[in-house]
Structure 1
Amino acid sequence: MINVTAGHPFSEELLSHTQYKRLSGLINKVCYKLSSYQKDKVANNCSHNITSYADYCLTTPEIEAEMQEVVQLVLHNSNDDIHSDIKQTFLTIAKSFYYAAYCDHGTINFHIAKVLFDRVV
């Protein structure tokens, strides 16, 4: 289970907030599916198009629908929302798992090297 407070005080009120509980549960589900997808992809040499073995691997549309729900919950603003920093932290976690699940290690290492070592002009 992921617990995210984005530097805000850790309180029972925050943990019992309806939106926090919804985001936390959804992020946990999405990250678990992405992790399973990544493991299955590696174990079966699966490509990005997983329709040929949909009975074995989690389907991309399933993960995509839940990722869209995460984005909608994070971007939706109302008066009783949790702090936007907390919502953005949830989204950052989901994007990190998504990136790791869909990109191979070489691509990730290349992107890290570009960020760390290439000059910005």
Structure 2
Amino acid sequence: LRIFESNQKDRAIISKASFQLGSSLGLKCLSQLTTWAYCAADATDQTSCCSRRGLSLGVTSECLSFCKGDVPTCDTQSILNYQPCTQHMAAIVQCQKEGLGPKPKYDPNWSSVCEWEGK
């Protein structure tokens, strides 16, 4: 599951994806947030990389949870707390890319537990 084999073009896509989570497009993507965060991190904790990039300074703990691949909420109200994180996605994704190894590390049996995902 290598979703980050990318280049400069992907950074532009990420920037465009920094939409308002409250928008109709953002709400459609909310149900995939926990899954996306887990898969993007590939079972690695990139908090130290995010901290080196300054994400720990003035950034909420919700944003650092993306660096760990752990977005622990399925509640649409509390998930909106992640909206400020969209401005840091390029740095978070860069750290996740740097953490990728030659073989995937994620658990193929992992599943999110959000009701809206049919679990």
Name the one with the larger helix percent. 1
TM-score, length-scaled by structure 1: 0.29
Structure possessing the higher radius of gyration over alpha carbons: 1
Using the size of structure 2 for normalisation, the TM-score is 0.29
